Chain A
């Protein structure tokens, strides 16, 4: 590896010089205003890294922080462990309304929650009663929900949010963290299998470790 002293400075100055002669993009706000459409509110975009993986952890902290709770998320997380489903678009308006109501401290009215996929909610009601609608027992509630449906359906999460008073985004944030909680319906067998294969598993780790110690399966080798 050779190293030319000062090359970094030269490169840096080169960049500075180039920028110096480029047209200015900065606008003297608020005296001047950029020419944007009246309804423009900026664009939220999730970026991909150089391997084409989503740079998002699905931690839902952005959704949690968003003052009007307009952020919803869907797709695959950074490590391709979770496929998080988007809620149906027609419910977005209702969701904003719901969060506004929740911030006001009132409970969210019931009927809106039935507009997702049809879901038999009696068992969930019963489970929530068992946990005393206590948001502090969210992990147990989510585990019970998964025991009922085989996964965590959006409608169930909304129902949990409504009855425990916990915000939707943090509930999702909890659910995406724990490896044993799933979002894929058990009926979607191919997807379930694909997602399971992507999740880091202890068995896979031990198998790789054993193979590595025994001198097998290195990078690029036959796997």
Chain B
């Protein structure tokens, strides 16, 4: 997927400008971090206000500090950094693009994080099959090694510092941090109960910082250019920039946008809907994203604003839908994908997400039962309240945001067996509305699901 042209004057932190405008010589961030020492490095990152780009927006410096201190008293000396370059969402190529475009930044950021928390090894986890990205990373690691910045005596500090690329594949859930750790340990990829967080009990039971690849690259930039300059971009709560993968009827691509950019401006980067169509909704956050209506296009792209609106940053995916899309169809498709990819470790995950997907499919198929919407809301509440990992909590978003913003469209399916967008073909078209009798109507054949 191509890089989108952004307005002149937008900052370039994660992706180097075509004219090489990222400036400064190679690995100057790592050199500066070594000069500052671990505590000074964490202080600089704290001053920058950097938040994780992997979806949850956790403050990076807090994570580093926790991992640096974990087990100190008990004499734990082994620590790890895992850079999450998996890019779980098939509809978002942001991280994969970053790895190919700015491999040096990711490698440098991994080394800086390792240096800051006192780890000797940083692992960059990449999708098997991303051969270009893997080669680019290997090249950057070799360059850093040749510059004397990695190895048994990294930059003359007497400390060992290694960066290694590991490939993983085979499941959507591998993007989740505790699952990724399991995969690196060669285990079945199911999330772990937290606390203890990976910062205390991570890879091989050691304190581990799991950091998104963009976060790592941003950290490298901060050490090279200073926290103050980083804060020039974005908002005070969410400084800096983030990569988004925008797709719409008129095209799409990857763009680096400052935090706080409105959804309308992001949609515009991909050409909006093109001529003759109106934006009906934007799906923000990937398969477990929220579906926001057109009047929410003024929402700024920040962790908090999106959460309040019922979506999330997630994978950085922003998908523009015009009037041809049916919200019910879209939501049931997304929910089915989330249910199929749920790991099955916990009941809300194994059963709850599937029941939600079935309700969505019944809506789309015109076979809704009495009380389906109440059940849907009930299920969502239970799942959010009892889920083990974020996936299940977020998997409720497509249907819940649909219910919140597109109620008339859902009611048309439910009560009249009609699809206003003409996408669904409810088999019960013209059937009288579902009544309170408890006899279940025909179950949705599972072949109607996308998988």
Q: Which residues of A contact B333 (CB under 8 A)?
A: 208-209, 212
Of listed A59, A215, A220, residue having the most chain B CB within 10 A = A220
One of B45-53, B62-70, B308-316, B442-450 at the interface: B442-450
Identify the closest chain A residue to B428 (Cβ). Answer: A220
Q: How far is the CA of A134 from the CA of B237 in the complex (A)?
A: 46
A215-B170 in contact given A200-B337, A200-B340 (Cβ < 8 Å): no
Q: Would you list which residues of chain B between 76 and 108 have a CB under 8 Å from chain A?
A: 90-91
Q: Which residues of B contact A213 (CB under 8 A)?
A: 249, 319, 321-322, 324-325, 330
Determine whether B361 belongs to the interface, using a CB cutoff of 8 Å to chain A. yes
Determine whether B344 belongs to the interface, using a CB cutoff of 8 Å to chain A. yes
One of A17-25, A39-47, A113-121, A137-145 at the interface: A137-145
Determine whether A107 belongs to the interface, using a CB cutoff of 8 Å to chain B. no
Q: Is the CB of B171 within 8 A of A170?
A: no
Q: Which residues of A contact B364 (CB under 8 A)?
A: 218-220
Q: How far is the CA of A63 from the CA of B395 in the complex (A)?
A: 30
Identify the closest chain A residue to B324 (Cβ). Answer: A215
One of A29-37, A87-95, A172-180 at the interface: A172-180
Q: Is the CB of A138 within 8 A of B450?
A: no
Q: Which residues of A contact B445 (CB under 8 A)?
A: 51
Q: How far is the CA of A19 from the CA of B41 in the complex (A)?
A: 69
- For the complex of A and B, the 7 pairs showing the least CB-CB separation, nearest first, are A178-B170, A215-B324, A138-B186, A202-B90, A219-B364, A218-B424, A57-B344
One of A1-9, A97-105, A185-193 at the interface: A1-9
A residues sitting closer than 8 Å to B (CB atoms) are 1-4, 50-51, 53, 57, 59, 78-79, 135-141, 170, 173-174, 176-181, 198-206, 208-209, 212-216, 218-221
Q: Is the CB of B350 within 8 A of A57?
A: yes
Determine whether B72 belongs to the interface, using a CB cutoff of 8 Å to chain A. no
Q: Is the CB of A1 within 8 A of B434?
A: yes
Q: Is the CB of A3 within 8 A of B427?
A: no
A139-B183 in contact given A4-B436, A220-B424 (Cβ < 8 Å): yes
A219-B425 in contact given A51-B443, A138-B186 (Cβ < 8 Å): yes
Q: Is the CB of B423 within 8 A of A180?
A: no
Q: Is the CB of A174 within 8 A of B188?
A: yes
Q: Which residues of B contact A180 (CB under 8 A)?
A: 128, 169-170
Q: How far is the CA of A138 from the CA of B182 in the complex (A)?
A: 11
One of B17-25, B111-119, B365-373 at the interface: B365-373
A214-B324 in contact given A179-B170, A220-B366, A221-B425 (Cβ < 8 Å): yes
B residues sitting closer than 8 Å to A (CB atoms) are 90-91, 128, 168-171, 183, 185-190, 204, 249, 287, 319, 321-322, 324-326, 329-330, 332-333, 337, 340-341, 343-345, 350, 361, 364-366, 370-371, 419, 421-427, 433-436, 443-446, 448, 450-451
Identify the closest chain B residue to A135 (Cβ). Answer: B186
A220-B448 in contact given A1-B371, A179-B171, A215-B421 (Cβ < 8 Å): yes
Identify the closest chain B residue to A4 (Cβ). Answer: B436
Q: Is the CB of A219 within 8 A of B371?
A: no
Q: How far is the CA of A212 from the CA of B319 in the complex (A)?
A: 12
Known: A177-B189, A213-B249, A213-B330. 5 other contacts (CB 8 A): A79-B451, A203-B90, A214-B324, A215-B324, A220-B426
Q: Is the CB of B325 within 8 A of A215?
A: yes
Q: How far is the CA of A205 from the CA of B337 in the complex (A)?
A: 7
Q: Which residues of A contact B190 (CB under 8 A)?
A: 59, 177
Q: Which residues of B contact A181 (CB under 8 A)?
A: 170
Shortest beta-carbon distance from A222 to chain B in Å:
8
Identify the closest chain A residue to B424 (Cβ). Answer: A218
Q: Is the CB of B424 within 8 A of A205?
A: no
Q: How far is the CA of A146 from the CA of B345 in the complex (A)?
A: 26
Q: How far is the CA of A124 from the CA of B370 in the complex (A)?
A: 57
Q: Is the CB of A200 within 8 A of B341?
A: yes
Shortest beta-carbon distance from B128 to chain A in Å:
8
Shortest beta-carbon distance from A54 to chain B in Å:
12
Q: Which residues of A contact B319 (CB under 8 A)?
A: 209, 213
Identify the closest chain B residue to A1 (Cβ). Answer: B370
Q: Is the CB of A219 within 8 A of B424?
A: yes
Q: How far is the CA of A212 from the CA of B186 in the complex (A)?
A: 37
Shortest beta-carbon distance from A178 to chain B in Å:
3
Of listed A78, A174, A199, residue having the most chain B CB within 10 A = A174
Q: Which residues of A contact B287 (CB under 8 A)?
A: 205
Q: Which residues of A contact B324 (CB under 8 A)?
A: 213-215
Q: How far is the CA of A200 from the CA of B128 in the complex (A)?
A: 18
